[in-house]
Structure 1
Amino acid sequence: MEKKYSVVIHPSKEIIDSIKTMKEDLASKIGWFNSKNSVAHITICEFKIDESQIGKFKQKLFKITDTFTPFNVHLNHFGAYDSGAFFIGPDEDSKANLKPIMKKTQNSMQLSNLTKSSDPHISIGRKLSPESIKIANDLFTTIDMHFLCDTIILRELDPIKKQFFVLETFPFGSNPQPELIQGSLF
């Protein structure tokens, strides 16, 4: 049976709890919204495959995360996309560290139906009206959070709850593989 999966980065439990409170505060002002009940995360990619193939993708994730070295992420601003997403963004140094992790993970999956994220962020709400985004901007003005990025999470969508749940965690192994360089023999 085909199932939907996502590959994400989770911040620390403290940040997840803080963002859950922020989402509840926003809901008290605007009512229910998309992503209200979603656990805080930075999306790397989403895909659908037959559940019988998931073992192969777990192996790919283990292999790629073994090459990553943990690093600190600093979340320091709020923003919004034209799509109506209101989010927390990382500083430029964190973004520069997150983007290669995201790209290498996406490339390792080797799937044609991969939905990729290219701009690292943690969504507070999605598909918000311009009025709701203004309320969110007025409610949340400053943020200064740090976490150690040292794992990637594979999640599976529960079709009944319409929420992802953690399937497996892949720790960073700090074993960078040498880049293959095409050279000349003579």
Structure 2
Amino acid sequence: MDLKDHIRTVPDFPKPGILFYDISTLLAHPAAWRECVNQLKTIIAPMKPDLLIGIESRGFLPAAPLALELGVGFTMVRKKGKLPGECISHEYDLEYGSDIVQIQADAVKPGQKVVILDDLLATGGTLRAAIELSQKVGADVAGAACIIELLGLGGRDGLNAPFHSLISYEI
């Protein structure tokens, strides 16, 4: 099954000139979604993670069911102020300005092997920040994966972990 057949493109979203790759249509097709999770499982299972980390918010979609499939835990990296309890923060630079991501202080035990997931890799800033935050709390980042990778934006450059994607588009 070609997963690209189940990705909808939406021109000029969220602003003019952007072509948005929408996984909603993939999620709505049970066989395609199962195939997506199976493909991710094939990539990630050999890494033998203890925990999967999903990046807010669409990264939760592949990470949570995949954690169940692999029999491992799941936790979240979210924007500042979205997680209860004590959190560890990491500030990172954006093209214009900065942002902060957080993880709950007790979400990862030092030395736990983790894999970080998101739906899409574009410029890589948020994934890079999630990797750095995970390392900051003592995780052993075995890898990172996304459903979609937009080639030509340099997203893989500077990632401090092995990276895999299921689908790629030239930009």
TM-score greater than 0.5 by the shorter chain? no
Whichever structure has more helix as a proportion of its residues is 1
TM-score, scaled to structure 1: 0.27
TM-score, scaled to structure 2: 0.28
* Larger RCO of the pair (alpha carbons < 8 Å, separation 6+): 1
Whichever structure has more strand as a proportion of its residues is 2
Greater C-alpha radius of gyration: 1
